[in-house]
Every structure is written in structure tokens, then in C-alpha cells.
A and B are shown apart, each in its own frame.
Chain A
Amino acid sequence: MVDLISAIDGMVCVWNAYFWRIAFVFLIGLGIVFTIKLKGIQIMHLGHNAKLALSGVGEGKGKKKLSSFEAFCISMGARIGVGNIAGVATAIVTGGPGAVFWMWIFAIIGSASSFMESVLAQIYKEQKTDGGYHGGPAYYATKGLGSRKLGIFVAMLLVLTFGVGFVMVQSCNASNALCGAFDFENNNIVFAVAIAAIASLLVFGGFKLIGKFSSTIVPIMALLWIVFAVIAMAFNAGNIGNAIGMIFAHAFDLPSIIGGGIGTIIITGLKRGVFSNEAGLGSIANVAATSDIKHPVKQGKIQSFGVLVDTLLVCTVTALVILSYGSFDAIMAFGDKGSVLVQDVISSTPLGEAANYIIAVFMFVFAFTSMIGYYTMSESNARFIKDSKVTVNLVRIIVIIAALVAAIIADVTIVDDISDTFMAAMASVNMVIVALLSRQVFEAYADYRNQRKQGVEEPEFHKKTLSDSTGVTEWE
């Protein structure tokens, strides 16, 4: 069994390396282009973007469609999860403290890509018989580029990335955190079965109700995580300056204890950053499409702000908790990564063993709320391919098996490699499609800006604004 897992990991590792270098060129190259074209909208309009994200509370009430604020909360629920805790710990162990610096840089670049994909998702969204809006990469590829085959390919890739890869990471980290808190013989098997059983209950019934609950609970849990992390950090307050110093000092070189080169730091920062904020992956575009707003650009601005909140705020807090423990060698001496490392560090403070249980609860809630989000996205894309019970049940079985296998393997490295490979393929394909349809986004943005310049407080969008509105079925 161990040999088989090692063989699979060896193979995936090679694919992972090649796919990520391709994704790197597209994610960062196009992210820079979008940032330049949009004149740094994510930073220059930060205040306005934040105001938009928090001001749509009253929109869309009493309708089946979501308000932009609700869509923001749901997307933050999807973003904030295991990646913000375990992902940051893994980034620091594999890429050194400097990986955090690159996570920041790529979050800033990625938020322009998030703007682009969210605006596209809004432009090409479609109202279904349930009264709600649906959209995302599969929709804009099909309707914008006029290729149903490409849409199906993208939908399949999305199911693999989120229904398999991301579910595996969530399940593995939740299992590890539980094993770290409750130590007994064969605990990983027990927790794997428990996780798979709960996942089965969720996907075969009731996930919609819990999905709504999770969109409410996750922002609260994220705030609680920040409070908990700040308390943990306060015990090592004297080391915070050193922690920040380590991030910058190791931005261009790896600590000798890890070895390797700057490529490792940069790629680690990119992988873990993208896993956390999901910029350019197309997942947030699926959520962005569901909101009922007057102008697509509004949702783009809100989602680009979400990327920054996720990485620059939540991930940074986790990074500072870990790095304020002491020297990098002392952190590496734990010999752990992922959520277990966070448990090691925080349980060494006066919070003691209680920290293990608290973190296990956070990981458990985040893992399941994210899994629900990923499952919902996978089901929606599976329905895009073929809207039948067989397809939906197939996706459900795939998700449950992925959760079970990952929790049994309980090896963060292997599971990360599998997830990263799918993520790289998804990001590359999505970014190329976004680039090919970028004119529509720039035209929508020009329209938004023109209306704002004319003093319109809340710009409205009509599809006639676009020079080519083929495939746009809403916005009459």
C-alpha cells in the first residue's frame, strides 16, 4: 500500500512540476497584464471596492437571487478554509518564511484576475428555471467563445479540481487535525470513516440547508479565527517583529535547513496563495455569477477585494502566529506541516493542549463548509455537462471516495500534489479563456467608469454596451 502511494506520488509530482510552470506563466503573466490594463484597480480603488463589498446588504432580499453582499460572503466562505491555516503552515515549511511574501505579491496580482473572471461570469450568467443565476468558466467558455465542447472540458476540469483535488485536501487536513487532538490507535481510519459518513449525509441530502448555514457561519468563524490567532500571537508578541523580518529576509533565498532555490519559494507562494484565495481558478466566478446586481463590474470589484482580505489579512495572521514562535530552525524542529504544525506552535503557548482541540474544531468546520462549497460547484458543473440523476450521483460518489481516501492517506504532501496538479490545469485553461474574452470586461469597465464620471451613483449595465454581445442572454 505504502509503495503504491509512493509510486502514485512520484508520478503526480512530475506532472505537478510541469503543469505548475505552465500555470505560472499564464497566471502571473496575464495577471500582470490585467493589472496594467486596469491601472491597478485592486489597489487604486481599494476603498471603493471594500465599500461595495459591504454595502450591498439590503440588495436582492425576498428574491431567489443573491445580493452582492451574500455572494461576497459565500465566496469568502469558499475562500477561507483549510488553506488559510494548514496551507500557510505548509507554505512556510516547504518554501520558507519568504513564501508568505510571494503569497502577498501573487494575491495583489491575482485580484486583478479575479476581477476579470467575476465580471465575465456576470456578463455571461444565465437564469435557470429555479429562478437563480448560474455561471462560471463553463458558461463563459460556451457562450462567449461559442464552443460547447470547450465548456464541457472546463466543467469536467472544475469537477476534478474541486470535487476531487480540493475535497481531498480539506478531508486530509481535517483528519490530521483530529488525529492531532485525539490520539488513539488507528485514529486516522476512524476519522476517515467519520468524515466520509458526514460527507455522504451532506451530499445525499440536506446540503442546501447546510450550505446556507455555512455561508453565514464561515465569515463568523473566520473572524473568530483571527481573534484566536491574535490571542495566540500575543503570547509571543516580542517575536512579531522578527517574524515580519523573516518574511522579507527570506523572500529571495531559502533558509539552509530546507535547501533549494528561489524558484521553490516563488512557486510555493503561488501554489498555496492560489489554493487559499482561488484567484484565476474559476471557482469564485461560479459564485460571482449567482448575484443579482445592476452592473457586472460591481461584482468584479467585490471579488477582487475578497482575494486581498483572504491572503493579506487571514493568511498573514496565520503566518505571524507560526513565525512568532521563534527562529525558523525551531519551527522546523517540530518536523510537522499543515494543521499539525499550527497545533504544535499554539499548544506551546499558555493556551496549552486546549489549542489542539480548538484548532481541530476550526479545521473541521472549515473543511466541511469548504467541502460543501466544492461539492455544490462540482454538482452545478456536472449538471452543465449532463443534467441527469446519474451524473449527479456519480459526482456524489466521487466526492465521498475522494474524502475517504485522502483522510486514510493522511499525507498532506501527496494530497497537495494531486490537488495542485488539477489546480494548475484549471488555472491555465481559465486564464487563457479570460484573456480571449477580456475585451468584454474592458468594455464593461469603461461603461462603468463613464457612468460614474457622469455622476451616476449606481451604474446599470445593458448588453448593447458590448461591441459583441453574442452569447449574452441577460442584461437586456
Chain B
Amino acid sequence: MEAISKAIGVVGVVAVLLGIAMAYIERHNSDLNLAFVPLIIGFAVIFVFFYLIEKRGNDRYGKIKERF
């Protein structure tokens, strides 16, 4: 498997773990604001996840011609 495909898998798993962390903090901690930390990191990880998917496509087939 290509290194980038492995990285996509790893980042996806990290996103899942951050969701779990958010739920865990909410259930076991009265400070709800703390639960937003994994959520915000989770969103950042999703951006990385998507960036890697896009990069893999661009590396294989080139950039999509039309920019919109």
C-alpha cells in the first residue's frame, strides 16, 4: 500500500479517537468546554484527512482542470 494511503487510514482512526475522547470527557467531566478541545482538533484532523485524499488523487491523476 502507498504511504499516503496508510497515512489516510491513520488520520481517519485519529479522527474516530478524537470523537471518542469528546464523548468520554462529556460523560466524565463537568467542564463541558473541555470537550470542545478534541472536537476542534477533530475538525483539524478531518481537514488533514481530506487534504491527503485530495493529494493522493492529484499525485495519481493530476489536478482537476476546472477551478470553481
Contacts and interface: CB of A to CB of B under 8 A. Distances in A.
B53 A29 contact: no
Nearest to A440: B57
A41 to B, nearest CB: 9
Interface residues of B, number: 34
B60 to A, nearest CB: 8
Nearest to A31: B46
B20 interface: yes
Contact of A22 (B20, B35, B53): B20
Interface in A417-476: 428, 432, 435-436, 438-439, 442-443, 445-447, 449-450, 467-468
Interface in B1-23: 8, 12, 15-16, 18-20, 22-23
Nearest to B32: A261
A25 B53 contact: no
A24 B39 contact: yes
Given A438-B53, A450-B66, A17 B27 contact: yes
A32 B39 CA distance: 14
A376 B27 CA distance: 37
A428 B42 CA distance: 13
A439 B57 contact: yes
A436 B20 CA distance: 22
B47 A33 contact: yes
A29 B43 contact: yes
A21 B47 contact: no
Contacts of B18: 25
B8 to A, nearest CB: 8
A63 to B, nearest CB: 32
Interface in A181-237: none
A442 B64 CA distance: 8
Size category, A interface: 35 or more
Nearest to A262: B32
A29 B47 contact: yes
Contacts of A263: 26, 32, 35-36
Given A17-B27, A24-B22, A446 B66 contact: yes
A167 interface: no
B23 A20 contact: yes
Interface of B: 8, 12, 15-16, 18-20, 22-24, 26-27, 32-33, 35-36, 39, 42-43, 45-47, 49-50, 53-54, 57, 60-62, 64-66, 68
Interface of A: 14, 17-18, 20-26, 28-30, 32-33, 38-39, 261-263, 428, 432, 435-436, 438-439, 442-443, 445-447, 449-450, 467-468
* Pairs of residues from A and B, 5 with the lowest C-beta to C-beta distance, nearest first: A29-B46, A22-B19, A446-B66, A467-B61, A261-B32
Given A25-B16, A263-B26, A263-B35, 12 more contacts: A18-B23, A20-B23, A25-B19, A25-B22, A25-B39, A25-B43, A25-B45, A38-B68, A438-B54, A442-B64, A446-B68, A450-B65
